[in-house]
Chains A and B, each alone.
Chain A
Amino acid sequence: MTTDAVARARGRVGKPAALLEVRSLSKRFGEVQANWDVDLTVLPGTVHGLIGENGAGKSTLLKMIYGVYTPDEGRMFVDGAPVSPGSPADARALGIGMVFQDLRLVPALTVAENIALALPDGPTLRLARLAARIAEASEAYGLAVDPSAKVRHLSIGERQRAEILKVLMTGARLVILDEPTSVLAPQEVEALFGVVAQLRDQGLGVVLVTHKLGEVRTIADQVTVLRGGQVILNAEDPGNFSDAELVEAMVGRRVPPLAVERVAVPPREQAVLELQGATALGDRGHVALKGVDLEVYPGELVGVAGVAGSGQKELCEVALGLRPVTSGAVRVGESVHGLTGAVAVPEDPVVDSVVPGLTVLEHMVLDGRAVPRRGLGIDWPAVGARTAVLDERVGLHMAPAKRTLSSLSGGNIQRVLLTRELGQDASLVVAAYPSRGLDVANTRRTQELLLEHRARGAGVLMVSEDLDELIAVADRIAVMHDGHLVGVVDTAGADRMSIGRLMLGGVA
């Protein structure tokens, strides 16, 4: 057959054959229509941005493409031929590779061993030969990793590179990246996009999920917007739309810009939180927090920047009294401006705050506050009414009260916890990655909630990996590296690249 005949057989003379074509895919989970009549076309040599609110159905769509879920309806074509991957292994055989947001690497194994897991190749591991192949592929794709390093000792960015390399070495021609940038420092995002651009130049197709419009503009050739499981914009050129238009497509309404009134630095009275040389051990017994000095004053929002795992988690837990210090001191002000107590959003809500089998409503009484009672039991109708008022006031629009948390998407779980914690008054607010996994509108609302706490006179400590977010809302930014507090930067006049250098252990 000539090339022409092949093209004609595929019925698309003149156009490059789509790497992946999805037609009218639908998927229902119980009462939730997660995807409805979704079309998606990914061309070779392009980066396809996929954006949408939390629960819009992005992950569901990708998991159907990767064979994790089976679609209820619809068809899929790879290189024009109909396919129906029933498992990730099927999808990989078709040249589809996926990098999950939480990755699928084994921390205790080396990079080479992790890659060996994906490459069925003889009964023995022949690690030396494999290391040579890895080095060759690293070179070809510009993904530097040390094959003999244990994944546990790699930074998040390095882990991501290892996972992408693994996916490419299994022969993927379509690489799906589900929210890869939400855990990276700015420099690492740049490096990742360098790799993505190189893959595109080599003719691969890349699907990239993100909540950040700036990233779509930087790297995506086409953008598809999902809302409520349906396609709102299909493979459009992002250059043809303004930010406001894209946000409106995602959210279904206009979102006004964040109004931060920069109150003059309030008089430094008694600190709400005071750490002096705080040193603490991490979960694996290593020193994770090394002599940190930090004060948070009433009416102040202190941001904490750092690459994941630099001691932020331990800092928050020490501030809240959840983790003992091995040396140094922690003092929490009793009350300021009539406010008392602390509220917190943990770094990993699914592990630290969520009971998967309980409903949204049941989570609303798990915060230790007094609960309306009827006899010895809980007065659930009263809790329901209280929760409705709270949800209205907080404005993050939680999932229906009867849904169990195990059935919610990551962003929706986060919204339940944020509503519960940020909906009550406190003198100290500790929020770790509050907007992680949230869409544009909810990120905005969460930032407003934190600013409202600050305006009421609370001291707010906020950890985030999104420097733009910290620069937008924080009064001061404390930068952490390897357990040390390497610098406290005044946000006025802060420069993201120099903060990024501090985060990576350099000098500003």
Chain B
Amino acid sequence: MNAHSSVANETFDCRVAFSEKLIALAEADPRIVAVCNDSVGSSNLNAFRDRFPDRLINVGIAEQNMVGVAAGLANGGFIPFVCAAGPFLSGRATEQVKADVAYSNYGIVLCAMSPGMAYGELGPTHHSIEDISWMRAIDNLDVLVPADPEQTKAAMDWAVASGRPIYMRVGRHKVPSVTPADRDVAFTFGKIDVTGDGNDVALVATGTLVSRALEAADILKAEGISARVLNVSTIKPLDAETILKAARETKGLVVAEEGVLEGGLGAAVATTLAENHPAKARFLGVTGFAPTGSNDFLLEHFGLTAKGIADAARKLVG
């Protein structure tokens, strides 16, 4: 795929790739275990449980306990993949993530299932839109947001190999593949993947917003505006070099994410720009507790669409 082709039609729930990959990793490495909170079904762990009944630790509805148990497992030589709905993993167990995982420097992969507003009409209690800000604030915790199934799997490979404390979103909202066919690996830790070399505007997006940014680039191209798309799948540490290159080579950046603006990707980009190369930028995100509605309805509601991104880009170059 290049910047000027339309985004593929087929879409995927990243949890499917996640669970297949987890089984493959566990086949190869007996240290890998899954820890969850009555979330076997919602984390797509049924097949894992059937294959490795002893290596699935379901603690029940108890997220603080769940993350603490994972730390104990890591202390005992295991590599826990903690699988729970994003809002409860990041919100309920924040202090365990800080003290027991990051501060203690354990190789634990915290897998935030169904992040963003994937739980649409279940409402703000079930939306995981603050997670990136909360997790970014914790030292020694890498924050990953793979944008498609290929990236999800490649990020899991990296997670196991690195032995790092990691928070990773695993998307439920169906997304097309956004990984260009010519890439050797779908995910490189700490590197932004750039599609296109447009120098009017840079569209910086993460997760569900990446395919929408690619569509926005198509819309803009038809109007004679050239865009490049930056897929940020490592939110922390941020690839400042690629951000600054885009800032130098374009008239401005649009940053789009399925999360709050305070402390999210946009805030990370803004800090990098302000300190090194002040540039014009626009920030799109979730601006307030959502009203009732499906994930798609809410993305539309908050302007997190190809059109919303293109509109913001036009204002920058116009």
Chain B associates with chain A: no
User: What is B's interface to A at a CB cutoff of 8 Å?
Assistant: none
